[in-house]
Amino acid sequence: MTFVLAIDQGTTSSRAIIFDADMQIVATAQEEFTQHFPSSGWVEHDPEDIWNTVVATCRQALETAGISASDIVSIGITNQRETTLVWDRTTGQPIHSAIVWQDRRTADFCRDLKEMGHEAKVSATTGLLLDPYFSGTKLRWLLDNVEGARQRAEAGELLFGTVDSFLIWRLTGGKTHATDATNASRTMLYDIHAGGWSSEMCEMLDVPMGMLPQVFDCAADYGVSDAAILGAEIPIMGVAGDQQAATIGQACFAPGMMKSTYGTGCFALLNTGDTAVASKNRLLTTVAYQLDGKPTYALEGAIFIAGAVVQWLRDGLKIIEAASETQALAEASDREQSLIMVPAFTGLGAPYWAPDCRGAVFGLTRNSGPAEFARAALESVGFQTRDLIEAMIADMGGAPDTVLRVDGGMTASDWTMQFLSDIIGAPVDRPTVLESTAMGAAWLAGMCAGIYPDMQGFSETWARDRRFQPTMTPEDRAHRYEGWNRAVAATLAV
């Protein structure tokens, strides 16, 4: 019997999922870890929490499956992107907390670079915008604010990596310092056209190139895990950032295919094939995946707060005890009230890119309560997705002839998915396997190991659980979206 282990290291939890030779899930383990907010707009993780939860969930999944590490033919890794770590080349010890992708501490630096006229060059080279979201300015902050870090980095003592690189380094006992092209393309240091680190970007951000990991294909030989960690040496053969892994897991391999993942944030990717489409509507041009040395590109829209708004209802307002309660509350809400929530807790992402913007709620009455807040929170995800799709349609010169494939925790809510279909005015397909991110990582690793089918064969395994068709009238859809646009404009004006 042969199995593949997928490590899905996310923003709020780490998961390990074991797939069998038929790509069926046989065991899952998950463990949340603490979020740290040391200052307004700052978000950090303890790197040891990331590492310890990954190891613990891998061991738990093996135990649950009743198999040993020697039964695993390969490991696939998918990870929260842009989160930035720097560690000692010799000891592997991080020099600071991990700075999370949501963190906005470098907003002023990004603004300075824009005012100096650098954004056009950044976009042309990396496909990204000058925003604190990406790794490059976070790395610059660490070098400038951790005592002795710059001197140590220039002396070759420190290494940089996103979470995938950190896990690969730890898993291989420091033998492999590598990342894949999808994660590299999110750093603001990588030339997505030349397929390598950009000396020009590194010079602009004052980053020593010797810190940077080697860039591999998504399916490649990343070395083997140390036997002491899981009980046997296991090849690491698949790596992709979480949103690209979900694109792969949804089998969005043809140009024009589109997926949207609803986790902590929401991320929509539109496959543009071998063409790196330059967005005129402040979307990102990114590497969707790279196989056999050939990159496939995508347009991406990033929403910073999706599932996190439900987490806020639970942990911040304490009006629910579990995320699953929001659907019943939304269904019971007063339809006469038109609450609109703009969840800009850490700024607004695409297509606004307003890092200093903060959240707001409009339309409150004395009768507004938990049910109305729950509905507004869920609807905010649909409205923000509509923003992304409108920008993609404009960039592509017309609507792509495709349905929206969705995945992630929020897609379990039929109410939310129906509203999504209603507000975008298009079909929404939910797959039978909602673990698209882990599935993508597993397929990369299993395909590279020779036990899973090729791209065409994998595409044929994709199966739909349910299609949601729009039922809202065009007039109502336009009215609701107009209200959202007014709310966003008011939020941005504060």
CATH number of the CATH domain containing 75 = 3.30.420.40
Q: Are 426 and 419 in contact (CB under 8 A)?
A: no
Q: Model confidence at 345, in pLDDT bands (50, 70, 90)?
A: confident
Do 257 and 333 reside in the same domain of the chain?
A: yes
Report pLDDT for 109. Answer: 94
Residue type, 346: T
Do 282 and 137 reside in the same domain of the chain?
A: no
> Degrees (nearest 5) of the Cα angle 305, 308, 310?
120
Least confident of 105-119, 146-160, 386-400: 386-400
**Longest CA pairwise span in the chain (Å):** 64
Report pLDDT for 399. Answer: 61
Chosen domain end from 189, 218, 242: 242
Residue 455 is classified by DSSP as H
Residue type, 112: D
Question: What is the separation of C-alpha 61 from the centre of its chain, rounded to a whole number of angstroms?
Answer: 23
Chosen domain end from 186, 213, 242: 242
Do 295 and 338 reside in the same domain of the chain?
A: yes
What does pTM read for this prediction? 0.86
Specify the higher pLDDT residue, 321 or 176: 176
Q: Where are the beta strands (DSSP E) in 409-482?
A: 428-431, 464-468
Do 213 and 327 reside in the same domain of the chain?
A: no
Measured CA to CA, the distance from residue 396 to residue 256 in angstroms comes to 9
Q: Model confidence at 398, in pLDDT bands (50, 70, 90)?
A: low
Mean pLDDT, residues 377-390 taken together: 91
* Residue 189 included in any domain: yes
- Reported as type and span, the H/E element at residue 313 is helix 307-315
Residue 387 has pLDDT above 70, yes or no: yes
Q: How far is CA 468 from CA 324, 474, 479, in A?
A: 19, 16, 21
Domain that holds residue 97: 3-242
Task: State in Å, rounded, how far the first CA of the chain is from the last one.
Answer: 60
Mean pLDDT, residues 452-467 taken together: 93
* Residue 439 included in any domain: no
Least confident of 101-105, 172-176, 220-224: 101-105
Tokens 């939020």 locate to: 491
* Residue 315 included in any domain: yes
Domain count, the chain: 2
* Residue 172 included in any domain: yes
* Residue 440 included in any domain: no
Do 232 and 269 reside in the same domain of the chain?
A: no
Q: Residue 318 burial (CB < 10 Å; 0-12/13-18/19+)?
A: exposed
Q: How far is CA 315 from CA 9, 213, 377, 420, in A?
A: 21, 37, 14, 25
Report pLDDT for 400. Answer: 59
* Residue 125 included in any domain: yes
Report pLDDT for 136. Answer: 96
* Residue 455 included in any domain: no
Do 278 and 234 reside in the same domain of the chain?
A: no
What is the residue-averaged pLDDT of the chain?
92
Of the candidates 392, 124, 127, 418, which has an alpha carbon nearest to the alpha carbon of residue 256?
392
**b/e code 431-443 from CB counts within 10 Å (16+ = b):** bebbbbbbbbbbb
Residue 397 has pLDDT above 80, yes or no: no
Phi, then psi, of 129 in degrees rounded to 5 = -110, 160
Do 216 and 304 reside in the same domain of the chain?
A: no
List helix spans (H) across 316-424: 325-332, 370-396, 414-424
Q: What is the pLDDT of residues 10-54, one digit of tens each?
A: 988 999 999 999 999 999 999 999 999 999 889 999 999 999 999
Chosen domain end from 219, 242, 265: 242
Strands 266-273 and 258-262: antiparallel
Do 264 and 192 reside in the same domain of the chain?
A: no
Measured CA to CA, the distance from residue 159 to residue 88 in angstroms comes to 6
Do 310 and 166 reside in the same domain of the chain?
A: no
| Number of helices (H), then strands (E), in the chain | 17, 22
Do 237 and 340 reside in the same domain of the chain?
A: no
Report pLDDT for 401. Answer: 59
Residue type, 203: E
Report pLDDT for 367. Answer: 87
* Residue 65 included in any domain: yes
Do 294 and 231 reside in the same domain of the chain?
A: no
Strands 72-79 and 236-241: parallel
Cross-strand bridge partners of residue 28: 17
Question: What is the separation of C-alpha 167 from the centre of its chain, rounded to a whole number of angstroms?
Answer: 17
Do 232 and 256 reside in the same domain of the chain?
A: no
Specify the higher pLDDT residue, 303 or 289: 289
Least confident of 160-164, 216-220, 275-279: 275-279
Which of 86-100, 387-401, 407-421: highest mean pLDDT?
86-100
Report pLDDT for 126. Answer: 96
Residue 185 has pLDDT above 70, yes or no: yes
